Amino acid sequence: MQDEYPPTLYNWTGGMPALERLTSIFYKKVLEDLLLQPVFQQMGTEHPRYVAQFLAEVLGGPKTYSVERGGHPNMIAHHLERHLTQAQRVQWVRLLLEAADEAGLPDDPEFRSAFVAYLEWGSRLAVINSQPGVEPNSNAPMPRWGWGEVGGPYRG
């Protein structure tokens, strides 16, 4: 493997094994949570893996989610008409951060700052896209999250 500086957030997390561990722990928590369980009760067994692939791509890893699942427009489509609430969003972020600790994701301030920034951005976008009558951008590019450099989530 070629050394990269700075490493992608994906590599910093520990790659797919770390993200699969994260989503496995997280979705177990979600299914036990009174506020979130109704939203996810119908999810398939592959859902945690798909979310791990999505996070991997967002954090600078392989583009598996885009190639196999349709990229960001597909993710947005899963949120349409879900009527997510701010309380659900906050609980979702809280449980994901708990799962990140349990999964052993890096806890250095630089990584956690970037990771939390993505979770805040992405979860707020999910709430917006879940409201009645939203017509999402079917060409929305996959966000690419980094260490806070200028350019935002849609940089190339």
Q: Would you say residue 144 lies in a domain?
A: no
Domain of 68 in residue numbering reads as: 9-129
Segment 65-108, tens digit of pLDDT = 777 876 666 667 666 667 889 999 999 999 999 999 999 999 99
| pLDDT value for 72 | 63
Q: Would you say residue 134 lies in a domain?
A: no
90-96 contacts at long range (C-beta below 8 A, 24 or more positions apart) = 91/33, 91/35, 91/36, 92/30, 92/36, 92/123, 93/119, 93/120, 93/123, 95/26, 95/29, 95/30, 95/33, 95/36, 96/22, 96/26
Task: Give dist(CA 84, CA 126) in Å, integer.
Answer: 8
| pLDDT value for 150 | 46
Q: Would you say residue 140 lies in a domain?
A: no
| pLDDT value for 126 | 87
Q: Would you say residue 3 lies in a domain?
A: no
> Which segments in the chain show pLDDT lower than 70?
1-3, 70-75, 77-81, 149-156
Q: Would you say residue 151 lies in a domain?
A: no
User: Domain with 27 in it: what CATH number?
Assistant: 1.10.490.10
Domain count along the chain: 1
Q: Would you say residue 143 lies in a domain?
A: no
Q: Would you say residue 24 lies in a domain?
A: yes
